[in-house]
Structure 1
Amino acid sequence: MKVSSNREGASYLVWTLAVQLVLYGSGAYATDGTKNCKLFSMSELEQKALSRLEPLANKSFTGQSKNGDDSYTYVFQLCGDADGVPGAGVIQKGGKEAKTKIIGKYNATQAIGGSDWVMLIYRNGEAYDQHCSGEMRKAIIMISCDRTKTADDLQVVLEDRDKEHDCFYLFELDSSLVCPAIESQLSAGSIILIIGICLLAVYLIGGFLYQRLIVGAKGMEQFPNYAFWVEFGNLTADGCDFVCRSRNRDEAPAYRGVTAEPLEEEQDERDDHLLPM
């Protein structure tokens, strides 16, 4: 019986490890910086959206707002205790009561991702006293890509509490840490140009070393194929002349010049038939 129970325990352990590996590979487990966040839906899309915020983990962001004579300070931390308050993702401090209130908790998280933004929602905050039918507070943090900012201060947009249900606090945060990577795509012409430059560099460096170390050349003769490149200009000119010029050099000119024979002799020959017989 003990052997059977041990086998069952070992089998259960193996299956547990296998399931954990599968879930980890599919993205169902959070990364180290976001592992404290508990998603409502352990979907792969939400997990990917949350993992994009990994660079913001263990960082605190502060924002200020005013409501009449009251001023409030908000502290946000990704998957961590905001301002040291256990379980709080966003807190509110200040006001007449000078009391710290939990706006949202990171153990009730929802993450929605776009092309260059992630919307993080913390639910299950402290209940309203007189607004929103006494429902729990909720914080919505809109984290957008801005390549000019590493991690900006938290911007307090509004507190929507003038309705009976689904009230929320809205915050904005701009950071380059959530920007997608820029994929560099080289055209075929660029690739050919790069390959050509690399081959030319190998030719010049390798030929120079060969001429200097093996052949023992000095001065300009260290340049590979020096004699050929010296004549290259003449060869190019001859080739251009051969291809581009349409006139045949060996063709006789259309108009001949005056012959070298004296005119007087030609005149005498033309007058011979006039002499009397």
Structure 2
Amino acid sequence: MQVLTHPIGRCLPVWTLVVQLVLRGSGAYADEATSNCKLTFESERKVLKRIEPLGHRNFTAEAKIGEDKYSYVFQLCGDAGGVLGAGVIQVKGQETTVIGRYNTTEVIGASDFVWLQYGHGEKYDTHCSQEQRRAMLMIFCNRNLDLGQLEVVQENRIREQNCFYLFKLETSAVCPPLEHKLSTGSILLIVAICLLAVYLVVGFLYQRLVVGAKGMEQFPNYAFWAEVGNLSADGCDFVCRSRDRAEPPNYTAVSTEPSDEVPEERDDDLLPM
């Protein structure tokens, strides 16, 4: 018996994939990286979304306490180091300790940093009244780093209660957007340039089409601006030149015009010797 498959049935998986891609592009899956985190207050979800670029990635750090070396792994709302439910883990040799779980998440945001806490970690053996461990992460703004390096700041376990592991991470994801504002001087300069452009275009068209001017005469108020240019050149010449322009001549000029003076006649040679 031959089973016929309806064309719609064959196309359904394709349409499902298309719908998923559309939803993903429209932002329906925008919070996928943080959806696993269980927040104490859902109002904190908006702050958590600021650090979504950190999702789906393990951040590691190394620390040495005495003679012991520890490795730490952090993942945002995901299984750190592949440990189910763990947001932060501590690794020493073959031993793995869950410091905090993302099913107990608290987050606080400011303009240039986000504070994240994972609770319900494994209990201390002898320290801190054998309470559950918790991890705190201070995520700071650094515009020069897309994703920075995880750093261990402190392991505080000398208290009777409220002990914690403190980590630091820098990223540009929590940086506030830069505001590009024009200064008053820039606005005035733009307005002046626009007015000058309108003046030149309208004046050129008027001179050419209405007055019928040609050549440089098409420039609006050409005579006025030419006079301004000449005066500016004269002023620059007067201020900038150091040579005296009225120097006295070093020689006597010979006049080419006839003189009105009558030469004195001498008659000494007419007297009898």
Q: Same fold (TM over 0.5)?
A: yes
| 1:134 partnered with 2:166 | no
Per-residue deviation, residues 71-113 of structure 1 (Å, max 9, x unmatched): 1111111111112222111111125xx2111111111100011
Question: Residue in 1 aligned with 2:111?
Answer: 115
Distance 2:202 2:58 in 1: 56
Q: How does 1:1-277 map to 2 (within 5 A)?
A: 31-43=31-43, 46-95=44-93, 98-201=94-197, 229-234=225-230
Q: Taking structure 1 as reference, are residues 225 and 87 closer, same or farther at Cα in structure 2, changes over 3 Å only?
A: farther
Distance 2:97 2:117 in 1: 17
Gaps of 5+ in 2: 1-29, 234-273
Question: Residue in 1 aligned with 2:254?
Answer: none
SS state at 2:159 partner = coil
Q: Taking structure 1 as reference, are residues 222 and 61 closer, same or farther at Cα in structure 2, changes over 3 Å only?
A: farther
What letter matches 2:154 in structure 1?
Answer: L
Q: Taking structure 1 as reference, are residues 60 and 227 closer, same or farther at Cα in structure 2, changes over 3 Å only?
A: farther
Distance 1:156 1:222 in 2: 74
SS state at 2:137 partner = strand
TM-score by length of 2: 0.63
Per-residue deviation, residues 218-276 of structure 1 (Å, max 9, x unmatched): 98678676666434425889xxxxxxxxxxxxxxxxxxxxxxxxxxxxxxxxxxxxxxx
Per-residue deviation, residues 186-242 of structure 1 (Å, max 9, x unmatched): 233322212323444566689889999xxxx998678676666434425889xxxxx
Distance 1:104 1:194 in 2: 56
Distance 2:58 2:185 in 1: 47
SS state at 1:157 partner = strand
Task: Check the 8 A contact 1:55/1:178 in 2, yes or no.
Answer: no
SS state at 1:194 partner = helix
Distance 2:34 2:161 in 1: 29
What letter matches 1:36 in structure 2?
Answer: N
How far off its partner does 1:60 sit? 2.3
Distance 2:145 2:168 in 1: 13
How far off its partner does 1:54 sit? 2.1
Distance 1:86 1:168 in 2: 21
The count of aligned residue pairs is 204
Distance 1:143 1:100 in 2: 24
Q: Taking structure 1 as reference, are residues 136 and 189 closer, same or farther at Cα in structure 2, changes over 3 Å only?
A: same
Distance 2:64 2:83 in 1: 23
Q: Taking structure 1 as reference, are residues 166 and 235 closer, same or farther at Cα in structure 2, changes over 3 Å only?
A: same
What letter matches 2:176 in structure 1?
Answer: P
How far off its partner does 1:179 sit? 1.0
Q: Taking structure 1 as reference, are residues 141 and 225 closer, same or farther at Cα in structure 2, changes over 3 Å only?
A: same
Q: Taking structure 1 as reference, are residues 206 and 60 closer, same or farther at Cα in structure 2, changes over 3 Å only?
A: farther
How far off its partner does 1:172 sit? 0.7
Per-residue deviation, residues 127-162 of structure 1 (Å, max 9, x unmatched): 222222221110000111122322221110111112
Gaps of 5+ in 1: 1-29, 238-277
Task: Check the 8 A contact 1:117/1:143 in 2, yes or no.
Answer: yes
What letter matches 1:181 in structure 2?
Answer: P
CA RMSD, 1 decimal? 3.3
SS state at 1:115 partner = coil
| Seq. identity, % | 61
TM-score by length of 1: 0.62
Distance 1:91 1:84 in 2: 10
Distance 2:66 2:205 in 1: 79
